[in-house]
Amino acid sequence: MAHSHDHHAHGHGYDHDHGAPGRGRAFVLGIGLNLAFVAVEAIAGLASHSMALLADAGHNLGDVLGLGLAWGATVLAGVKPSTRRTFGFRRTTIVASVANSLVLLFVTGGLTWESIRRLLDPRPAGGVTMIAVALVGTVINTASALLFLGDGRRDLNRRSAFLHLASDAVLSAGVAMTGAVILVTHWYWLDPLVSIVLAFAILVGTWSLMARSMNLMLDAVPEGIDPAAVKAFLSALPGVVEVHDLHIWAMSTTETALTAHVVMPAASSGPTFLADVCRELRDMFGIEHATLQVDPAPAGCVSCT
Ligand SMILES: [Zn+2]
Ligand SMILES: [Zn+2]
């Protein structure tokens, strides 16, 4: 059995990953500022009876949870495993991402429910508070988006963070415009309608997060790794006649483990065989934690019969 103990983080980011992992201070600052704005937006939404503003606050809450998750993952990755918790605390990132998506499902459910009620029975909503707060959101999101545009625009994570923040700026501007239209026309049904559209947008974003976290919980093969290609690679190794009991799963949102039995007639592998295979699994597939069992012959495997 050979292990590859090279645990460097890979860049499998989240949709709501607004920051580059590994910069604790930037994370804490980003989370703090965003959380403060969510509170302001939620209070202003309640005060001005604006469902659209509450929905925008719900979306921003999702972003804060995403940031918190990414930050938590980097912190927990640094906690050393103990004799009893041999995997450390890395799996908590998976539990947290399920909790994150559940919170967002409740938020969108509540928003949609209340918005439908208001749509059937429109009440005066919006006003100057709604416009002002939504405009502040537009400015914050535009400024944050420009920060990500500034350096390293070829980086995929930074690019998706920029696109997300830019679309957030557009959403906030949309809420401000809704407020302006309501101020002029008194079309109060417009506010819950925009809220439902925003809730649907959050739901779409949450759905993929939910599906991914569920797959992580079920120990499914992580996205981006083709299990057939891994099996083909192992089967094609010199001396290997069969591969069985192949498992590939995520140990955390950034680390992948593999176990497999390779059937090899006795003495056909060199002394560096396992180390070489583990290195290649890491380099080719990003699997950092591989454990291989060499079966001398198909009949010699106890765990498979
Ligand atoms: Zn967002
Ligand atoms: Zn076996």
Interatomic CA distance for residues 101 and 49, integer angstroms: 26
- CA 299 – ligand 2 centroid, Å: 9
166, pLDDT greater than 60? yes
- CA 277 – ligand 2 centroid, Å: 17
Q: What residue type is 145 in one-letter code? A: A
- CA 265 – ligand 2 centroid, Å: 13
The share of the chain scoring above pLDDT 70, in percent, equals 85
Q: Which of 37-41, 89-93, 198-202, 218-222 is least confident?
A: 89-93
- CA 231 – ligand 2 centroid, Å: 14
From the CA of 15, the nearest ligand is 1
Q: Which residue has the higher pLDDT, 297 or 280?
A: 280
301, pLDDT greater than 90? no
19, pLDDT greater than 50? no
- CA 218 – ligand 2 centroid, Å: 23
pTM (2 decimals)? 0.68
Mean pLDDT in residue range 99-122:
87
Q: Are strands 242-250 and 256-263 parallel, antiparallel or unpaired?
A: antiparallel
From the CA of 206, the nearest ligand is 1
5, pLDDT greater than 50? no
From the CA of 58, the nearest ligand is 1
Please report the pLDDT score of residue 46 as a whole number.
Answer: 92
From the CA of 198, the nearest ligand is 1
258 DSSP β-pair partners: 248, 290
From the CA of 66, the nearest ligand is 1
16, pLDDT greater than 50? no
From the CA of 297, the nearest ligand is 2
For residues 205 and 62, the answer to whether their CB atoms sit within 8 Å is: yes
Complete domains list, the chain, with CATH = 24-217 (1.20.1510), 227-300 (3.30.70.1350)
303, pLDDT greater than 80? no
Q: Which residue has the higher pLDDT, 7 or 66?
A: 66
From the CA of 165, the nearest ligand is 1
Mean pLDDT in residue range 112-116:
90
Mean pLDDT in residue range 158-168:
79
- CA 36 – ligand 1 centroid, Å: 15
Interval 61-94: pLDDT, tens: 888 887 787 777 778 777 888 888 888 887 777 7
For residues 259 and 247, the answer to whether their CB atoms sit within 8 Å is: yes
Average pLDDT, the chain: 82
Please report the pLDDT score of residue 208 as a whole number.
Answer: 79
The share of the chain scoring above pLDDT 90, in percent, equals 32
Interval 225-243: pLDDT, tens: 999 999 999 999 988 989 9
Q: Give which of 181, 179, 191, 201 is closest to 134, Cα–Cα.
A: 179
- CA 276 – ligand 1 centroid, Å: 43
Confidence band for 31, pLDDT divided at 50, 70 and 90: confident
